Amino acid sequence: MTTNTNREPKFLVVGNVMEETVTREDGRTRQQVGGVGGIMARELARAEANVTLLAPVTPTQQERLNEALTTLGVTAILADGRPPAIREGTARISVRNGEPTATKGHFPVPGSIAQEIRDIRKDYDMVLCSLYLDVNDLSALAVTGGNIIANATTKGMVPRLGRMRGITAATMNQAELQALARRMRFDPDDNPAQKMGISRVFVTQGASGRTDFWMNGNRRHLPAIKVPAGSDFIGAGDALTAGYAFAIANGLTTDQAMDDFLEKVLDYNAASYQ
């Protein structure tokens, strides 16, 4: 990507956004903007990036989420979707020793926002998207081309990735990789970038760190960074995705940017419990 050095790059995040309550074992809680799209946009805004979040949201939740995102420094375009999104996106997450142990809530069923994507995509240098999106939305993104980073999901991943051939990179955790390997019938120890035809794939592995894969067959494992006391891993994978996109768009070293974003989200998680 050739970045225009006369202005800051503009990021578009397309994905789900939710209202989340996180509770750790000592009973302390924090309220946060969550969902894959919400976390990626939140972390880009905390790095002072110019970021817009486009998400399908129920009309009853749009005002609350718009206010929360604006406070974070995110420009929010919250659309009803076609058909309209149903169910407000809320989650209650329990954490023990830094790891989520239970998640309860109502997860949004997204309607298509393909028309909104077509209307505004050309105005942005880098797109981050969740593969949880409607398949028509992914097709609309793929047609526009450019730099696109996809964050994986275990639900319907194979057909969704099929719509996204040629994207810049994909990120997923170990469980998502194993689910993908079963569905595409390859060994999870194989190189997923080669199997999926994607330039680069990042696989997060919790306390074991992460492994980066390239379509040319190379791979590299990086150890996990130290988790601050009282923190948790919620949103860490989404923060890495945001860090990678931020680095590419700004011509920075990807490893350092990803670690910086990961450290920031871990610090944020530790400091924001009430």
Q: Which one, of 118, 114, 93, lies nearest residue 30 by Cα?
A: 93
Which CATH number covers residue 121?
3.40.1190.20
Q: Domain tally for the chain?
A: 1
What is the C-alpha to C-alpha distance for residues 177 and 175, in angstroms, rounded to an integer? 5
Tokens at 32, concatenated? 């946060």
pLDDT of res. 64: 93
Nearest to 35 by CA among 172, 180, 173, 238: 238
> Could you tell me if residue 215 is inside a domain?
no
Q: What is the pLDDT at residue 154? A: 61
How far is the C-alpha of 87 from the C-alpha of 49, rounded, in Å? 30
| Residue 181, domain member (yes or no) | no
Which tens digits make up the pLDDT trace of 241-274?
898 889 888 888 888 888 888 888 888 888 888 6
Is the pLDDT at 20 greater than 80, yes or no?
yes
Least confident of 101-115, 170-184, 211-225, 260-274: 101-115
Average of per-residue pLDDT across 173-188? 87
Average of per-residue pLDDT across 222-239: 81
| Average pLDDT value over all residues in the chain | 84
Return the pLDDT at 54.
Answer: 94
pLDDT at 99: 76
Read off the pLDDT of residues 78-113 as tens digits, 9 standing for 90 and up. Answer: 988 777 766 678 888 888 877 778 788 776 666 788
Q: pLDDT higher for 133 or 46?
A: 46
In this structure, is residue 129 part of a structural domain?
yes
Query: Which pLDDT belongs to residue 6?
Result: 57
Domain of residue 134: give its range.
10-168+234-271
Which residue do the tokens 């880009």 mark? 44
Give CA separation, 105 vs 89, 142, 269, in Å.
8, 31, 20
Is residue 182 a part of any domain in this protein?
no
Reported confidence tier of residue 162, pLDDT bands at 50, 70, 90: low
Residue 71, in any domain of the structure: yes
pLDDT of res. 142:
76
Residue 224 located in a structural domain: no
Phi-psi region of 157 (alpha: psi -120 to 50; beta: other; left: phi over 0): alpha
Helices 236-250, 254-271: inter-axial angle, 10-degree rounding: 140
pLDDT band, very low/low/confident/very high, at 1 (cuts 50, 70, 90): very low
Per residue in 156-172, is it b (16+ CB within 10 Å) or e — as a string?
ebeebbebbeebbbbbb
Q: Which of 69-73, 98-102, 129-133, 232-236 has the highest mean pLDDT?
A: 69-73
57 in a domain, yes or no? yes
Residue 137 covered by a domain? yes
What letter does residue 91 receive in the DSSP assignment? E
Contact assessment for residue 143 and residue 223, using Cβ atoms and an 8 Å cutoff: no
